[in-house]
Amino acid sequence: SIVDDSVQFYFAPLSRGTLAENATLQFRRAPLTVHCLDCQEIFSARAPLPFECPHCGGVSLRVEGGRDFYIESIEVTDEAAGD
């Protein structure tokens, strides 16, 4: 995705010379939560966004959630210790 690619692109030069240099980034996508403005149903979807509501066929859709981006965890390996 564009967000993943952008984070990877900027992470490499920003991490150079730090403990994070050569780190591997892994991304996991959460489903989008979409609200149909025609029938008021809320449903989950994966990108690319569906062009119509699966309940009523309406096309007035608003993404309500699933656009967030956060760091879930960081794992550090001490290569000098052999971990």
Percent of the chain residues topping a pLDDT of 70: 84
Q: What is the DSSP letter of 38?
A: T
Q: CB of 44 within 8 A of CB of 34? A: yes
Structural domain including 18 reads 1-27
Q: Is the pLDDT of residue 83 over 60?
A: no
Same domain, 18 and 35: no
Parallel, antiparallel, or unpaired: how do β-strands 42-45 and 61-65 relate? unpaired
Q: Is the pLDDT of residue 29 over 90?
A: no
Q: Is the pLDDT of residue 49 over 70?
A: no
Determine the pLDDT at residue 39: 98
Same domain, 43 and 55: yes
Q: CB of 51 within 8 A of CB of 59? A: yes
Same domain, 22 and 37: no
Q: Is the pLDDT of residue 14 over 60?
A: yes
Same domain, 44 and 68: yes
Domain count, the chain: 2
81 in a structural domain: no
Higher-confidence residue: 29 or 7?
7
